[in-house]
Amino acid sequence: MSRELQTASARIPRVEELLSQMTLLEKAGQMSQHSWGFGSDDEAREYIAAGKLGSVLNAPSLEERNRLQQLALESRLGVPLVFGRDVIHGYKTIFPIPLALASSFDVGLAERTARAAAQEAAEVGIDWTFAPMVDVTRDPRWGRVAESFGEDPHLTAAMGVASVHGFQGRSPDEPGRIAACAKHFAGYGATESGKEYNTTWIPETQLRDVHLPSFQACVQAGVMTLMTGFNDLNGVPASGNAFLLRRILKGEWGFLGAVVSDWASMLEMIQHGSCADDTDVARVAASAGVDLEMASRTYLKHLPRLVEAGLVPLELVDDAVRRVLRLKHELGLFEHPFSKPPVTSVALSAEHLALAREAAQRSMVLLKNDGALPLAKSSRSVAVLGPLADAPLEQLGCWSYDGTLEAAVTPLSALRARLGQGVRVEHVAGLPDCRSSDESGIQAAVDAALAADVTLLFVGEPANLSGECRSRAFLDLPGSQGELCARLAATGKPLVLVVMAGRPLTIGEVCAQANAVLYAWHPGTMAGPALADVLLGDVAPSGKLPISFPRTVGQVPVYYAHKNTGRPPKQDRKQIPTGTPLDPTDFDASYLDVEVTPEFPFGFGLSYAKFEYDQLEVTPNQARAGDAIRIRVQLRNASDVPGDEVVQLYVHDRVGSLTRPVRELKGFQRVSLAPGERKCVEFTLTTDALGFCGADMVGRAEPGEFQIFVGGDSRAPLGGALVLV
Ligand code: BGC
């Protein structure tokens, strides 16, 4: 047996005992998951009764789960089922989408929202969620960017780990905890051209520096399961990728948990052209290290024969079954296989709604403000316009099918409630929905704006334009929303734009027309109250962008941690007046028709407060491997309102054996400051954090000079220096 397998096989007496009694078919059953509603559910019941299924995805209710569990317990060995479901950004109470949560740069918040989601799911018998998604992505065309934590490996890892802690707690068999699943291993976020399910080509050094650290961090945090991706990585589908699963995950990282395939992704290896038929699929996936097959049945059909024929070693099958049984053991399913309806449900409790409101407040990003926000207390009439002002379903975002629609409070209803009798609130949608090009309602919106002191315009994307299989090649506001915005801007009345979307949109033009722009993402159940809090100034916006916003699709991918190139741009946009002679000394890495910088950079976000940074100190400024480096900065709130600032620490390795990104995020802290308050913010950096994967695939920090930057976004000018000797 390989070293990888030996390290991975944690021996638990109950598991060993069961394993010793199992037939090959029962083992294949433990390695199979039925997806409720796909294929025959009656057949699945028969399989469960015969001890030939280990898990069920999306069983419809607590009662059904208990009935299925009863069948499993009555089977020959009585191994309980484990029930999975996608509980991604909330169950009944819907929290902001993950990309929004990442904008909070608040790991405590990510942990608390995951915990609340786990509590609501656990009380209806869900044991296991398929979250967090820790795919790093730099492509807003990809619909799943909504479900990601954005473009940065450090931020993604931090949010991923916090989510794992929130779902699993110290132990997932505690009441109100469920098993987490870091997905999609690996590289799915690099999908070529932003097209869903597309090929990924990632050099190993980049894979190890950018795409794997978030998964490794989740493994170190004790995540119980991982899911493979739909993508093929460098020619090998992730669900049959022994390099990823056996060598890195189970070998180098010593992962003891279970690997589940994505939905039918094993079977899709036939379409990828890497397997001939479903026998081949079972052989390839089992050999590569997929422990549990989601939705398809190739293991059940073929694995026993493959083992008998010597084509798949029995040790590999035993290792996979051990992992699945260990998951059930750690979830406490052998002791508590059934779920009881709660005496008092926590779903949509006042506490969870308050948390949803807080999470939404903290994740909104103020992109522009000429003073139009917060709304003046003197406003006597407000025009609440746009197709998303009163669209409860859309504000919930992409993974909200269990969310309670009736609980969603829209901006219109919250503003009406908050502004009370003294302020006239006029609502006109202007467009039938945000994808519509029917402009017949725009004039009514214009009339409402003309009659009001200020216009709040709610535009963006509906929930179903982001998420899985929702790639877009254009990133502008869909339908006639751009026209609606232009017509309202032309009224000359103050215009505040609130954008709700599941991805960065190319909104430079509409931003230029508005007085203020608040990017709210899809904020969830409590979108309305949270928006009212921010727009009315009870809470200052504090979110920062976890992903760069392109000016135009043609810039994609545009991200802050890019390389310098041999000819960094001399100016943001190349100017070539007609007739300009060829001048090779002026050739640089720029565009002729658009600036080279993004519309809004990573880490960017305004507040009603104003923050000033100074006195950056790096001690020691000559460090040796293993030293702790202290980086301190003075932060001051130079305004008369309280606010939170996300202080960000970036590093640039000036000379490397491989070229290094111009900046890399290495730390962040959310700091609350009263008006006029000054605080010293301190980071401790280990020299390990300065390392990267070298050409020999070994990670290490190389001696030399490093630049250190601290500030409020990825362009932070305040710098210091460090030498690693
Ligand atoms: C998605 C996964 C999800 C799974 C189960 C797949 O289509 O890619 O992220 O967890 O379905 O619903």
What pLDDT score does 61 carry? 96
The residues, ordered by sequence, that sit 6+ positions from 374 with a Cβ below 8 Å of its Cβ are: 534, 535, 536, 537, 608
Q: Is 263 in the pocket of ligand 1 (CB under 6 A)?
A: yes
CA 407 to chain centre: 24
What pLDDT score does 10 carry? 64
* Burial degree of 548 (CB within 10 A; 0-12, 13-18, 19+): buried
585 alpha carbon – ligand 1 mean position (Å): 51
User: Which residue has tokens 């730099």?
Assistant: 138
628 alpha carbon – ligand 1 mean position (Å): 41
Structure tokens at 691: 């390392």
Crossing angle of helices 278-288 and 298-308, rounded to 10°? 80
What pLDDT score does 639 carry? 98
Which residue's alpha carbon is nearest to atom 2 within ligand 1?
262
What pLDDT score does 704 carry? 98
Q: Is 183 in the pocket of ligand 1 (CB under 6 A)?
A: yes
The residues, ordered by sequence, that sit 6+ positions from 15 with a Cβ below 8 Å of its Cβ are: 322, 325, 326, 329
Query: Which among 480, 399, 473, 398 is positioned nearest to 434, based on CA atoms?
Result: 480
Q: What's the order of all strands across the beta sheet hosting 628-637?
A: 611-619, 628-637, 678-686
155 alpha carbon – ligand 1 mean position (Å): 23
Q: Is 358 in the pocket of ligand 1 (CB under 6 A)?
A: no
The single residue of 135, 173, 209, 262 carrying the catalytic annotation is: 262
Query: What is the sign, positive or negative, of the torsion defined by CA atoms of 477, 478, 482, 484?
Result: negative
Ligand 1 pocket: which of 163, 262, 265 to mutate (most atoms <8 Å of CB)? 262
680 alpha carbon – ligand 1 mean position (Å): 44
Q: Is 468 in the pocket of ligand 1 (CB under 6 A)?
A: yes
Q: Is 319 in the pocket of ligand 1 (CB under 6 A)?
A: no
Which residue's alpha carbon is nearest to atom 6 within ligand 1?
263
460 alpha carbon – ligand 1 mean position (Å): 25
542 alpha carbon – ligand 1 mean position (Å): 31
Query: What is the sign, positive or negative, of the torsion defined by CA atoms of 326, 328, 334, 336?
Result: positive
For residues 291 and 77, give the distance between their C-alpha atoms in angstroms, rounded to a whole number: 20
Radius of gyration of the chain from Cα atoms?
A: 26
Number of residues in the chain: 725
* Average pLDDT per consecutive 10 residues, the chain (725 residues; last block may be shorter): 48 93 98 96 98 97 98 98 98 98 98 98 97 98 98 98 96 91 98 98 98 98 98 98 98 97 98 98 98 98 98 98 97 95 95 98 98 95 98 97 97 96 96 98 98 98 98 98 98 98 98 98 98 98 98 98 97 88 90 96 98 98 96 98 98 98 98 98 97 96 98 96 97
What pLDDT score does 585 carry? 86
Residue type for 594, please?
V
Kindly write down the DSSP assignment for every residue of 30-99, as one continuous string.
HTEEEETTSS-HHHHHHHHHTT---EEES-S-HHHHHHHHHHHHTSSS-PPPEEEE---SBSSSBPPPHH
For the entire predicted model, the pTM comes to 0.98
In this structure, are residues 503 and 145 in contact, taking their beta carbons and an 8 Å threshold?
yes
Helix, coil or strand: residue 474: coil
Q: Which atom of ligand 1 is nearest to the CA of 230?
A: 8
* Burial degree of 483 (CB within 10 A; 0-12, 13-18, 19+): middle
Query: Which among 298, 322, 303 is positioned nearest to 313, based on CA atoms?
Result: 303
**CA-angle at 244, arms to 241 and 245, nearest 5°:** 80
Ligand 1 pocket: which of 56, 97, 130, 239 to mutate (most atoms <8 Å of CB)? 130
Structure tokens at 6: 């030996």
What pLDDT score does 498 carry? 99
Active site residue 262: yes
What pLDDT score does 171 carry? 85
For residues 493 and 488, give the distance between their C-alpha atoms in angstroms, rounded to a whole number: 8
Which residue's alpha carbon is nearest to atom 4 within ligand 1?
263
For residues 56 and 49, give the distance between their C-alpha atoms in angstroms, rounded to a whole number: 13
Q: List C-alpha distances in Å: 599 to 194, 246, 346, 496.
A: 19, 41, 42, 18
Task: Give the containing element (helix H, strand E) for 347.
Answer: none
Query: Which among 488, 467, 485 is positioned nearest to 476, based on CA atoms?
Result: 485
189 alpha carbon – ligand 1 mean position (Å): 14
Q: Is 130 in the pocket of ligand 1 (CB under 6 A)?
A: yes
What pLDDT score does 4 carry? 46
Counts of helices then strands in the chain (DSSP H, E): 22, 26
What pLDDT score does 9 carry? 57
Structure tokens at 93: 């109470």
Query: What is the sign, positive or negative, of the torsion defined by CA atoms of 585, 587, 592, 597?
Result: negative
User: Which residue has tokens 């505040």?
Assistant: 496
User: Which residue has tokens 């969620």?
Assistant: 129
| Helix, strand, coil % over all residues of the chain, rounded to 5 | 35, 20, 45
Q: Which atom of ligand 1 is nearest to the CA of 133?
A: 9
Which residue's alpha carbon is nearest to atom 10 within ligand 1?
130
